Structure 1
Amino acid sequence: MPNWVDGHPADSLSIKDRGLAYGDGLFETIAVRGGRPPLLEYHMARLADGCRRLGIPLDLQLMRTELVAFSAGLGEGVAKLMVTRGDGLRGYAPPPVALPRRILQSAAFPLYPENNAQQGVQLFPCSTRLAEQPMLAGLKHLNRLEQVLARAEWQDGEHAEGLMRDVSGRVIEGVFSNLFMVHDGVLLTADLSRCGVAGVMRAALLDSAKAQGLQVEVRDITYDEFIQADEVFLCNSLFGVWPVRSVTGHHWPVGPLTRKLQVIARDLLDI
């Protein structure tokens, strides 16, 4: 399927685009199944929040309409949606009147090993740390250099994901996923008010867990608390839930709450 730029098939961008020059924009990685994006409302809510916080005047209804049409044409696969502030002159100052650019790219689903979901994965302990910037925390903005550096730290097939901590050593997330833990029946995930990406699957699982009456806490998590967890799992909007079985000599079983949320994630993604 051809890529779209501003609602039309295209394979090129203006070299004046601020997304290219400064990472001035946002993106969403969206699973498409049966011609529809299952987590559409979560993606649109995060995009709306990001545009509000960055001051990008995106027509959200137009973006939704284009995304739905693009998904229908794609059928099955991954739609990557990028929104930039549009063209600008040299210099950091944003243009007084921004004309946001809407970009949609298609790709096949990544071929993850089935054992990742069935038996769990091993995490690589990344030395790259997430910097603290509350004004950008939670956003899926276009500048992902921390993740690029972290992902370059391992090349083997033994590790399926990397563990990312912040500059103070708190456990935050995976390189391309969010992280959950279970302690004494309580579902924990990191506070993302300083750094990290607030994933849509993370949001959907938190909503589902609360709706089912599970005890949920979103707060700072130390590394010592992390390795003492009863269960650990990762989630994102493409693979759903992967149990974590180990990191640097520490091991966890695939527990019942992980399996329960794994089924919920599959239902949310129409898998």
Structure 2
Amino acid sequence: MDSIITDTTALSAVSRGWQLGDGHFTTVHAKHGQLRHWAYHQARLTAACTRLQMPMPDWAAVKARAQACLDVKADQVLRITLVRGAGGRGYSMQGCTDTQVLLNTAPFPAQYYQWREQGITIGVCQGRLGNSSLLAGLKTVNRLEQVLLKAELDAQHWPEALVLNSQHQVVEAVTANVFWREGDVIYTPDLTELGVWGTLRAWCMDYLGARLVHTQALLPRVLAADEVWLSNALIGIVPVTGIIEPNTGTNTKTEHLNVAELTITRELQQAYEQTN
């Protein structure tokens, strides 16, 4: 049976993906039929298969079928979801020898280009992320924390927001990773115990090299930064022009984070646009 599915209605209701959230995914910017940063997406999927002990699919076949799904004249989003095939009873993986690959596309949100140029003002979520060392870094199909955090975004009418852990340390944004600059030093949260290791985060780490420091930081430190930006495979590199402090509703950062002074953000944007 073909294990690459382009019609998601073909996935059985008794699938481990539906019943247990036993799968993972990546979301790719597909512009005019080209899969942007495919090497990083394949690396993410490969690492997740290894950690989740899922059989590895044929990546050449996955890429070929994915490209066949695309409209070469359109700007699109491609989601690639891998779900463990049927087998063992209950939680057991015994007998699960197959991995199903699901492909689906959607139009690319045009506002992301405006975000990159003009920046966005973001909030700070009241909801907190829990530590999960077994799944840290992975983008599993169980996104219930993010579903609840997105509900908070929608209620506040924020485009994005920072999310903290139970120790009040900054982890990431609801759908993106976060970076900031203090003087000449660039920081991003240490995601050893939780969070998502985004593909564009990985690209930023490779590009910045020794200039980037992983740290654990409380919110006031990020609020005082000289420059803050978000990254994911769809929004790209987006400057943060304001952060609405929790409990006060006061946007204290709009004037402090001046788009014209976002030197590292603009450097990353330029380098990102020159890569495939």
When normalised by structure 2's length, the TM-score is 0.88
* Aligned equivalents of 1:258, 1:21: Cα separation in 2: 41
* Aligned equivalents of 2:96, 2:10: Cα separation in 1: 23
* Aligned equivalents of 1:195, 1:225: Cα separation in 2: 20
Instruction: Report the CA distance between 1:154 and its aligned residue.
Output: 2.8
* Aligned equivalents of 1:89, 1:194: Cα separation in 2: 29
Q: How does 1:109-120 map to 2 (within 5 A)?
A: 109-112=108-111, 114-120=113-119
Residues 194-222 of structure 1: per-residue CA shift (max 9 Å, x gap):
11000000111111122xxx611012122
Unaligned runs of 5+ in 1: none
Q: In structure 1, what residue type is equivalent to 2:102?
A: I
Counterpart check, 1:24 vs 2:22: yes
CA contact (8 A) 1:120 1:243 kept: yes
* Aligned equivalents of 1:107, 1:122: Cα separation in 2: 26
* Aligned equivalents of 1:200, 1:86: Cα separation in 2: 25
4+ runs deviating over 6 angstroms: none
CA contact (8 A) 2:86 2:96 kept: no
* Aligned equivalents of 1:195, 1:34: Cα separation in 2: 34
* Aligned equivalents of 1:68, 1:192: Cα separation in 2: 32
1:6 to 3, 7, 10: 3
When normalised by structure 1's length, the TM-score is 0.89
Give the root-mean-square deviation of aligned CA atoms.
1.9
* Aligned equivalents of 1:14, 1:65: Cα separation in 2: 22
Instruction: Report the CA distance between 1:94 and its aligned residue.
Output: 2.3
* Aligned equivalents of 2:29, 2:133: Cα separation in 1: 28
2:181 match: 182
SS in 2 for 1:153: helix
* Aligned equivalents of 2:60, 2:151: Cα separation in 1: 34
SS in 2 for 1:179: strand
2:258 match: 253
Cα 1:119–1:107 shift into 2, 3 Å: same
Instruction: Report the CA distance between 1:68 and its aligned residue.
Output: 3.2
1:201 match: 200
2:149 match: 150
SS in 2 for 1:159: coil
Instruction: Report the CA distance between 1:78 and its aligned residue.
Output: 1.3
2:126 match: 127
1:218 match: 214
Unaligned runs of 5+ in 2: 245-250
Q: How does 1:75-86 map to 2 (within 5 A)?
A: 75=72, 76=74, 77-86=76-85
2:96 match: 97
1:240 match: 236
Instruction: Report the CA distance between 1:233 and its aligned residue.
Output: 0.4
Residue-pair matches, total: 260
Residues 47-91 of structure 1: per-residue CA shift (max 9 Å, x gap):
1111111110122xx234222332244034111000011124652
Counterpart check, 1:265 vs 2:272: yes
2:172 match: 173
Residues 105-154 of structure 1: per-residue CA shift (max 9 Å, x gap):
11111232544222211112111111101110000111111110000013
